[in-house]
Amino acid sequence: MKELNRSTFLKYSALPLLGLALQKCLSLQSKPFLQKEANFSPTVLVIGGGISGICAAMKLQEYGISAQIVEAQSYFGGRMKSVLNDNSVSAELGAQLFNQDMKEIINLLERNYLEYSSVYGDGNTFSLNATGKEVWDEDSNIYDWIDEEKFLTKLDSKDIDQDFSLSEAIDAMTDEKEKRVLLKNMFRELMGKNPELVSTRGTYELYKRFNSERDADELHCENGLGRLIESLIQKLEYAPIHSYPITRILWKNGKFISTSKKGVIESNYLILAVPPPIIQKISIEPKLPQAIQKAISSFDTGDMIKITLVFKEPFWRKKGWNGSFVSNVYKGVTVIDSSLKNQKQGKLVLFIGAETALNLSKKKQEHRQEFAYNLTKQAFSENWQMPLEYYEGIWVKHPWCGGGYNSFVKYGGTPNAAEVLRNYNSNLLFAGSEISAEFPGYMEGGIRSGYSAAKKIHSKIKSQKVKP
């Protein structure tokens, strides 16, 4: 999720860079790691090879507990998916941005010698209306339009167990109609759904868990996050298995028997690192407790398309534009400059959410391409250039990841569904970005949630007290 106003960024000093270079040289001298074949009777089976599953397996390995990852798709990383080129990245089709308070993703990048830099933050931002651009003040932040007091008054006016739609909440946030429209469009992009379908209390729970005062989109990885995934996967003791969707989980005689069309894996513990709406596709026997089932079915998937346009240069900067703008013509469309420091080329990324994404997903690629070209041409008509490359990530009704950016608690669902899943204490644990206690909906949340599930299993094994 992103905010429009980007603060200036601290550049990392020369000293840590030197340290990094030294570590890199030393690591080249260390022995190559020999990965063992897949383990079909591990202590822990981790279902889902996204960042949360990978981090759960990594942590278990650190604790000396055997863990095996199985992944439904033909690649690992889930919603982290890069189109890589020689030493950089052509496009991030999924996750891309993070901030300096997201310590775990930064830690992983540094440990794997991957570079990150600040996102371009200068220049003017605007909203694009049918009649043209409306430039925002340099310091204007769309979230400043939210009258928090009004919102909280509205929240307090209802009983604690009485939920209302995010659309109703936005109506209470500001008296200005135009701002309401723009805020609703922003939330369409952030949640990937029409705010009428989103739970206010669920969203409020989510925002309370974002433990940072900084914008979420300060930094990005120069080499491509796909390289981080590759690097982490290679360090796992047991080779993760891809193209292995689990369809059935049976708890029998003190063991989990997890079945895919390709085979069966037995384990003592299970981590389900699969987005909540996708869990519903797996048959679990005996059935999970009612409260857990209710929490799982409280989530719905977001609809999101992410398009990257690569230009010869970031031409928009010449006229003092920042590159980022929100469309008021198309609902739920936000654009940012995502050019990398190490590349001369300019990149604009279009985040397209909710109904607009759903409609575009039904069209051919040519149509989406034309949409992206026309929108950016309309925004920067003065000196628009024909893009050199086009990339798209379609995260609409995604069969394995649910959608984009994330799943969310729908209006009518259990607002604290994430907490319910996170705190489920059995030999089957849930992990995933959505349910994380911190930074939910971000890679950082996925990492922390994976670590946390692994830590719980470690404690259970240590105490040997907990029975399924």
Binding stretches for ligand FAD (CB under 6 A): 47-53, 70-73, 78-80, 94-98, 245-246, 273-275, 278, 282, 304, 306, 393, 395, 400-401, 404-406, 432-433, 441-444, 446
CA distances (Å), 467 to each of 428, 452, 461, in order? 11, 19, 10
Distance, CA of 37 to CA of 407 (rounded, Å): 33
Distance, CA of 217 to CA of 341 (rounded, Å): 15
Q: Which of 2, 66, 12 is nearest to 37 (CA)?
A: 66
**In the complex with ligand FAD, which residue's Cβ is closer, 73 or 327?**
73
Numbers of helices and strands, H then E, in the chain: 14, 22
**In the complex with ligand FAD, which residue's Cβ is closer, 4 or 273?**
273
Question: Closest-CB residue for ligand FAD?
Answer: 50
Distance, CA of 305 to CA of 334 (rounded, Å): 11
Say if strands 67-70 and 44-47 run parallel, antiparallel, or are unpaired: parallel
**In the complex with ligand FAD, which residue's Cβ is closer, 96 or 324?**
96
**In the complex with ligand FAD, which residue's Cβ is closer, 346 or 445?**
445
**In the complex with ligand FAD, which residue's Cβ is closer, 323 or 441?**
441
**In the complex with ligand FAD, which residue's Cβ is closer, 192 or 415?**
192
Structure tokens at 285: 């026997």
**In the complex with ligand FAD, which residue's Cβ is closer, 401 or 421?**
401
Query: What sign does the dihedral 425-431-434-437 (CA atoms) show?
Result: positive
Measured at the alpha carbon of residue 259, what is the angle toward residues 255 and 261, in degrees to the nearest 5? 165
**In the complex with ligand FAD, which residue's Cβ is closer, 325 or 430?**
430
Structure tokens at 431: 């992990």
Say if strands 299-301 and 67-70 run parallel, antiparallel, or are unpaired: unpaired
Distance, CA of 135 to CA of 133 (rounded, Å): 6
Q: What is the CA radius of gyration of the chain?
A: 22
For residues 232 and 89, the answer to whether their CB atoms sit within 8 Å is: no
Taking 3-state DSSP, the helix, strand and coil percentages for the chain, each rounded to the nearest 5, stand at: 35, 25, 40
**In the complex with ligand FAD, which residue's Cβ is closer, 172 or 428?**
428
- Residues written for the chain: 468
Measured at the alpha carbon of residue 262, what is the angle toward residues 457 and 225, in degrees to the nearest 5? 60
Structure tokens at 71: 């992944």
Shortest spacing between CB 233 and ligand FAD, in angstroms: 12
**In the complex with ligand FAD, which residue's Cβ is closer, 48 or 387?**
48
Shortest spacing between CB 451 and ligand FAD, in angstroms: 12
Shortest spacing between CB 414 and ligand FAD, in angstroms: 19
For 307-346, give the DSSP string.
EEEEESS-GGGGGTEEEEEEESSSTTEEEEE---TT-SSE
Shortest spacing between CB 258 and ligand FAD, in angstroms: 9
Q: Which of 166, 96, 115 is nearest to 336 (CA)?
A: 96
Q: Which of 209, 416, 382, 166 is nearest to 299 (CA)?
A: 416
**In the complex with ligand FAD, which residue's Cβ is closer, 38 or 135?**
38
